[in-house]
Structure 1
Amino acid sequence: MGNTKIYGVIGPIISSVAEAVGLTAKNWNLAMVSPSAISVLLNDRQKYPYFYRSSISDDLYMESYVAIIKHFNWTDVAVVYEASTSYSPSASNFILLLEKNNVTVSSSQGILHTYDETVKNFKDNGVRIIFGLLQITAMQHLACAAYKAGLYGNKYLWVLPGWYYNAWYEISDPKIGCTTDQIYEVINHYLATYRSFNRYDNKTETISGKTPWKVFQYFRSNSLVTHNHDHMKGYTYDAVWILAMALNKTDAELKKRNQSLLDFNYSDKAIMAILNESLTNTSFNGVTGHVCYDGFERIEDVHILQLPDRNDSLEMVPVGIYDIQSKSVSFYKDNPITWPAGVIPKSPPEVLEVRQLISYTAGFIFACLATCGIITAIGFFIFNILHKNQKQLKLSCPRLNNVLIIGCIICYLDVIVFTFETAKIARRHMQILCQAKIWLICTGFTLVYGSLFAKTWRIHKIFTNKTSKAVAIKDWQLIAIVCMLLFIDILIFIIWNQVNPMEEKRYIISTKDGVDPRYKIQSVYYFCSCENLAVWLATICVIKFVLLVFGSFLAFETRNINITGLNDSKYIAFSIYNILIFCILGLIAFITVTVQVTTSYCLISSCIIICTTTTMLMLFVPKILAWKNQWNHVHQNLQLTAIATVAAYNEKCLASSNVKEVEKLQSVLQQLPHLVVNNKITYKKYKRYHKLHQELVNLNIKLKTMKQESKCGLSEIPSITDSQQKLDP
């Protein structure tokens, strides 16, 4: 250093250089005042005890970022920084500060050249607000990668360093891979924070006796001073004043002790301690504003800047300020922030939930089909009760038929309960609905299939009996089988409900951006589930499957039985096969297309309705047809018998005088209604009653005429009404 004594250092301006120089300055016992070295590493007072700045550090910029985030109620941001000693420490401190203020960092990326991966991570995490701590070249590459990935538009906002030079986004290097317009499309209207001095202030007088405007006019008029980096000039100017005033104050303090700065040497800790205290207590009006320190940190407000439209200006525009004292931000009313979408962005965006419900059309159609099925089932139920004593119905166990019909009605009700999902159900009601859907389908299945199983078992038991002793199986035994199966279901349901009750669960089908960038549209599906659902369903399915297989075996064994009294055996077998097939199809539909709400509903409801209706028709339509054929046969026999008897009567009455023969014919005529009665036909209940009645009336009129002409002493054919009271109810 020669004979020149050095008391301090102004600079360096680059943080990485300042870190190296700062270590040397410590060893030489020298003060340092940097105009722009903002690295947080320089805040380590153990390594850099004599380091000061005329500007603020990165820590204060980070505080201003947090204040902006809290002002706009953003709770989810991304941080991208250059992986270097200049930016990584600041980024780490920033992330810790965000977490301390309950702000979620959905993505934090330290990059070297992995721009595409960084952008992909942003998209995967759905970030909207991105804070960048990067050199200009790195930011250009990142913006280009964002453009190519489609990460731009009015729903994204970047917050970048304020020291970037004007129009930094104008690309001249072809290696970047994007045009200026493309880069601008990505960072359009981005925000920045920077030091808050006003070089156009021509009112406030500084310590030099000149206003900031006059100082900068001097810089512009001096040919030795460049016209770039005006901010740097102001802070360098104030850095010189900071060190000069501290030296003056130190010298004055030393004179009180009969010393002076001339006594300073590079190992004098006492004088350095006084100089250090003088630097901490510095306070004056500089060209960058009022200069003072809180410890070793410069106290200075922070400007909030925004990139305007390219047609307006190339310079960043001040839109607000961060007050270091109140730790809050305020924005200018005369120059407000311009939001690309016209509204303040939200981060994270508010999620608007669109609940996937069953289509009203599909619900209406299947509800109508289920209602028609219930009406049909009630009709069969009435028919079964009214004619339970008829031979065809009596042999098929009418009581068990009633149980089967009730099971069919319950299955139809399950389809209607499913239809309730066409509307939003309150959470407290959804749990009841969840349980009802499972209980109804299982109960209905048990009653329907249990009845078929019991019937098939009875037929198999009778016709596989190899002993001479007749097998008598009562109705109550068959109903007991169904009750036993139902009891097993109820027991499982009670245990299930106590251990793992069914609850409403939420499944996100898809999430997409809304037209308004503040919102996301989330398609969700609410369904019924519980813990260990697979175990409970497997338990029920295994029991039902075993019954299905056993029932199918019994149906196969009795497939060749064709007895008039057991004419529904083959239909029972077909119904069991039908149930087996549709249960498998319904289970596949439930597992594979659960998320497609309407499709799943249509497939499951179709399986229930087709299976239930087919089973019911297979069992009752043959009985109705058999009953109808029996009635036609009786009516035909009655009509032919009456005509033949009348013809015989005419012939005997006119050509024979054998009184005994005539009396015999009279006896036959008297027995004719009783023959009809023995066929167990209730004439009054059927359409053809009136026609038959009229025919018998006409026969009586003819007999009266014949009686008068032939003078035979014969009586009339008894009217059908004479025997009505004896017919079946």
Structure 2
Amino acid sequence: MGIFILFAISVALFNPIESTLSCLPSDSGTPIPIGVFHATKGSFHTPDIEPAVNVALNHIHNNSCILDGYKLNLTYEDTECKTSMGMKALFEMVASRSRPVAIFGGLCTEVNEPIAAALKYWHIAQLSYAETHPKFATADSSELYPTFFRIVPGNRNVNLAKSRLVTQFGWKRVGTVKQADEPRHALPHEALTTRLEESAVDVIYTAGVTFQEIENIGNELALLKARDVRIIVADVSEDIIGRVICEASKQGMTGRDFVWVLPGFHSNKWIHSSIDTGCDEERFAAAVEGHFAVQFATKRPDLSSYVVGGKKAEEIVRLLSESCGGDRCTKNIFEGYLYDGLWTLAIALSQALDNGRSFSHTRLLEAIGNSSFEGVTGRVRFEHNERMGIVEVLWYQNGTYHNAAYFDGARDEFRLEKAIQNWQPPADAPERRIVREEVSGWLFICVSLCASLGCLLALLFLALNLKYRNHRFIKMSSPNMNNIIVIGSMCTFISVILLGIDTRLVSRALFVKMCYAKTWTLSLGFTLAFGAMFSKTWRVHSIFTNIRMDKKAIKDSRLLMMVGFLVFIDILVLSTWAFFSPFSLQAKQLEKYQKDNVEIVPELERCHSENALVFQAILFAVKGILMMLGCFLAWETRHVNVPALNDSKYIGMSVYLCVVMSTLGLSIAFILQERINEAFAMTSLFIIVSTALTLCLVFVPKMVELVRNPAGIEQKGYRRGLMKSVVTKGPQQQHTNNPSYTGKETEKDLLARAEAENQLKQRYLHQKTCQLWELLERLRELGDTQFLQQGWFFVV
């Protein structure tokens, strides 16, 4: 019934035609005592409230639709914003004969808090027109201050407006700054971060600052900057906001790419304040440009609307302004809330006293909580004793504030103004652009061309080796092992091409198969080529270091078995790897960097295996041992130059080359693994160069011999090396066997004799060398090396 009556009153009040017909002035009535707390004395001087109160009383008392037969009787008490004075005034009012049915005011939290806590025991309603402290909106406030209401929107509305502002522009990540030593800012800030997270906005970091340690704000802002925060919501006092903005400017956190959402102080004096901010005037002006200020609105934006009392809002605003014009009083930003506050009490009292019922504090509290009418500050509605009012968002442009948006808490509406509708908001973070790191097209073409030329060179050597396999010079160098070297080299050349293939050229599924292909070709290619060279070097070493009377020939089949065993180890490891830890395509993101306000995130496609390091270590260990043994054998046979094994010297050089190139290539590839072009170029270079040089060292001498001796029948002129029986002959023995030696020859005679003997021995040596060559060739064809049992050796 009460709600229906309140609705009927509201309809009558808001319709100007009906109000002139039925709501008539009433100069008399039973007074209803109401205590009014304000502060005009003492050190804390506040603007006058009486002019606005008088305007509201005049409109209420001249409308018989409200308080028919009653009138409001206000008793003013000056609390001086002191707790003691406020409590004294309260007790005097409560003890007086005309105890107030409600308290209207006050302004200062120091007074409102103890009064609100005490009034609950008398069940007296208190309606504040200026209290904004967040302690009256905490979880336990309904228990501590159950009869306290405030007509001015609190931080709950402001937080809703900030949250809607952030989401309106599509920002999903913000940073915040809070003043930790001031509950007026710290408490609502905690509620704000919770609300932002509920709105799917990620609060990246909260920078804490205190008034006493404001010099440390630079460190906190640096942490925000390190996290690429572009939208910053600050809850700090007017005293330090300038220092915060100045430090942000020094750290490059202001400008068109950043947005600061600050508390509104209902003035821009802090921007032009004489307080030292640490920045010069020009720098500070540039730093504050473009920020948002969020504060409760002092009047509704649609002033042409009809409000309570049947008048337009613009008319009431004009009357309020005229009531405090000139030098008569100080302008009060709460004048609209003073006006709406008294109307709230009047309407609630009208409902509580309806039908001549005796006054009830309970009905009054319920009526205030159920208030719903259009006031000069917007629609008046309460939720948990909190006014759900209008919050304005101001935008600082060109040295002045402009209305950017309004949030109506009563209707839960957020509306942008025309001034900002075409504004392009900055991103909440640098534009994140994932750039796939790929091997340069030209580099891939060049490397593939070089690898293809290497394959053609290997095929040429293979063809010549097969065609002239019966040529004496090639036949004696194990053509079967040479073929294996060629095949292994071709595999390594092919692996280079496979290393540069990515998803630009093949599908993702095929790319995974390519992971296996390039791993197997490179590993098996190295094993075949190096294993064949190793086996040939091992045979030379065995021949010249392990001489026994019963030594058997080391045939190619034995060398093939050795290479086959090495290949078997590779296949075993690679197969186990593929079975237990298969490859998959992984996109690895590398270290990001910024370019033109765009965050570039390089992404590298690579073959990924969970236990790749284990199997790589096994392969590296096997091949490392093989290379160390190869180096040892090459060193041991460095002086060998046997015509029957004519390429042992070049094989040793190839072994050294493979070891050096493999070590350098592996190290550089590991260091440059995140620089795809450099890693691919250097890895390919080492593989191609080492493989090509190995082929050339093995086959070019044979090609030279084929050109010099196509038929393979011409003997080499002079062989470097002497048989032991020849070398051990000394000059003293030769003189003894010569009958013409007298011991008295001149130097000229000695020289002539030596020259003659030298020519004779040269012819003799040449003859015996030719005979030895023929015999060694026959033994070589038979695969027999027992000729070494006589202890012959050759030295470089």
TM range (shorter): 0.7 to 0.9
Indicate the residue corresponding to 1:235 in structure 2. 337
Matched residue, 2:783: none
> 2:257 matched to 1:155?
yes
Q: Which one of 308, 318, 321 corresponds to residue 403 of structure 2? A: 318
How far off its partner does 1:27 sit?
4.7
Q: For residues 110 and 230 of structure 2, what CA distance do their matches in structure 1 show?
A: 31
For the pair 1:198 / 2:300, whether they are aligned, the reply is yes
TM-score (norm. length: structure 1): 0.78
Matched letter for residue 149 of structure 1: Q
Q: Distance in 2 between matches of 1:407 and 1:249?
A: 101
Displacement, 1:406?
A: 1.0
Match in the other structure for 2:168: 71
**Alignment partner, residue 111 of structure 1:** 209
> What's the counterpart of residue 664 of structure 1?
none
619-628 or 529-538, larger mean C-alpha shift: 529-538
1:275 counterpart = 2:364:
yes
Are residues 602 and 27 of structure 1, via their aligned partners in 2, closer, same or farther at CA, if it must alter by over 3 Å?
same
Q: How far apart in 1 are the matches of 2:561 and 2:114?
A: 94
Partners of 1:40 and 1:435 in 2: how far apart?
65
Q: Name the amino acid aligned to 1:221.
A: G
Q: Distance in 1 between matches of 2:146 and 2:595?
A: 53
Letter of the 1:278 counterpart: A
Determine if contact 1:200/1:212 at 8 Å carries over to the other structure.
Answer: no
CA–CA separation in structure 1 for the residues paired with 2:512 and 2:411: 51
Q: Distance in 2 between matches of 1:14 and 1:533?
A: 70
Which residue, out of 414, 420, 429, partners 1:329?
414
Deviations, residues 496-520 of structure 1 (Å, cap 9, x unaligned): 12222333444444434454x5x43
On the 8 A contact 1:16/1:86 being kept in 2, the answer is no
> Compared with structure 1, are the counterparts of its residues 170 and 421 closer, same or farther at alpha carbon in structure 2 (3 Å cutoff)?
farther
Deviations, residues 30-79 of structure 1 (Å, cap 9, x unaligned)? 42222343344312201111111112221222222222333322211112
Answering whether residue 487 of structure 2 is matched by residue 406 of structure 1, we say yes
1:296-695 to 2 correspondence within 5 Å?
Answer: 296-310=385-399, 314=400, 316-324=401-409, 327-332=412-417, 334-337=418-421, 339=423, 343-421=424-502, 423=504, 426-515=507-596, 519-631=598-710
In the alignment, the residues of structure 2 paired with residue 375 and residue 68 of structure 1 have an alpha-carbon distance, to the nearest angstrom, of 68
Deviation string, structure 1 residues 334-385 (Cα, Å, up to 9, x no partner): 433464xxx2322244411222322333333322221211111110000000
The whole-number CA distance in structure 1 between the counterparts of 2:384 and 2:189 is 23
Q: 8 Å contact 2:175–2:205 — kept in the other structure?
A: yes
Please list, as runs of the form range in 1=range in 2, the aligned pairs for 1:164-243 lying within 5 A after superposition. 164-174=266-276, 176-196=277-297, 197-198=299-300, 201=303, 204-207=306-309, 211-221=315-325, 223-227=327-331, 229-230=332-333, 232-243=334-345
Which one-letter code corresponds to 2:107 in the other structure?
A: I
- In the TM superposition, what is the alpha-carbon distance from 1:94 to its structure 2 partner? 1.7
One-letter code of the match for 1:288? T
In the alignment, the residues of structure 2 paired with residue 171 and residue 242 of structure 1 have an alpha-carbon distance, to the nearest angstrom, of 38
Percent of aligned positions that are identical: 27
Is the 2:395–2:404 contact (alpha carbons within 8 Å) kept by the matching residues of 1? Answer: yes
Residues 18, 81 of structure 1: CA spacing in aligned structure 2 closer, same or farther, 3 A cutoff?
A: farther
Q: CA RMSD in A?
A: 2.8
Q: How many angstroms apart in 2 are the aligned matches of 1:41 and 1:428?
A: 61
CA distance in 2 between partners of 1:20 and 1:103 (Å): 37
| Equivalent pair of 1:284/1:291 in contact (CA under 8 Å) | yes
Task: After superposing the two structures, state which structure 1 stretch, 30-39 or 376-385, moved more.
Answer: 30-39
Q: CA deviation at 1:555?
A: 1.8
Q: Give secondary structure in 2 for the equivalent of 1:614.
A: helix
Conserved 8 A contact 1:370-1:415: yes
Q: How many residues align?
A: 612
Q: What is the CA–CA distance in structure 1 between the aligned matches of 2:524 and 2:694, rounded to whole Å? A: 16
Equivalent position amino acid for 2:117 in 1: L
Whether the 8 Å contact between 1:199 and 1:287 is mirrored in structure 2 is: no
Q: CA deviation at 1:627?
A: 2.3
Aligned AA (2:483): N
AA partner of residue 564 (structure 2):
C
After TM superposition, the structure 1 stretch with the greater mean CA deviation from structure 2, 353-362 or 16-25, is 16-25
Asked if residue 137 in structure 1 is aligned to residue 221 in structure 2, the reply is no
Q: How far off its partner does 1:21 sit? A: 4.2
- Could you tell me how far apart the structure 2 residues matched to 1:445 and 1:78 are? 55
CA 522–494 in structure 1, closer or farther in 2 if over 3 Å, else same: same
Q: Which amino acid aligns with 1:319?
A: A
Whether contact under 8 Å (1:411, 1:608) holds in the other structure is: yes
Provide the rounded CA distance (Å) in 2 between the counterparts of 1:389 and 1:633. 9
**What is the rounded CA distance, in whole Å, between the counterparts of 1:118 and 1:212 in structure 2?**
47
Cα gap change, 1:426 to 1:207, in 2 (>3 Å):
farther
CA distance in 2, matches of 1:421, 1:321: 53
Kept in 2: contact 1:357–1:422 (CA 8 A): no
In structure 1, runs of 5+ residues without a counterpart are 261-270, 638-677, 679-729
Inter-partner Cα distance in structure 2 for 1:414 and 1:13: 82
TM-score (norm 2): 0.72
Assess, with a 3 A threshold, how the Cα gap between structure 1 residues 59 and 199 changes in structure 2: closer, same or farther: closer
Distance apart, 1:636 and its partner CA: 12
Structure 2 residue matching 1:285: 3-state secondary structure: strand
Shift of the 325–81 alpha-carbon distance from structure 1 to 2, 3 Å rule, reads same
CA shift in 2, pair 1:635/1:494, >3 Å: closer
Give 3-state SS (helix, strand or coil) of 1:45's partner. helix
1:657 alignment partner in structure 2: none
Q: What SS is found at the alignment partner of 2:267?
A: coil
CA separation of 1:50 and 1:222: change in aligned 2, threshold 3 A: farther
Out of 268, 275, 289, the residue aligned to residue 378 of structure 2 is: 289
Distance 1:591-1:146 versus aligned 2 partners, 3 A rule: same
| Kept in 2: contact 1:456–1:573 (CA 8 A) | yes
> Within 2, Cα distance between the matches of 1:21 and 1:494?
83
Residue 17 of structure 1 deviates from its aligned partner by: 5.6
1:524 Cα offset (Å): 3.2
Work out whether residues 352 and 367 of structure 2, in 8 Å CA contact, stay in contact via their aligned partners in 1. Answer: yes
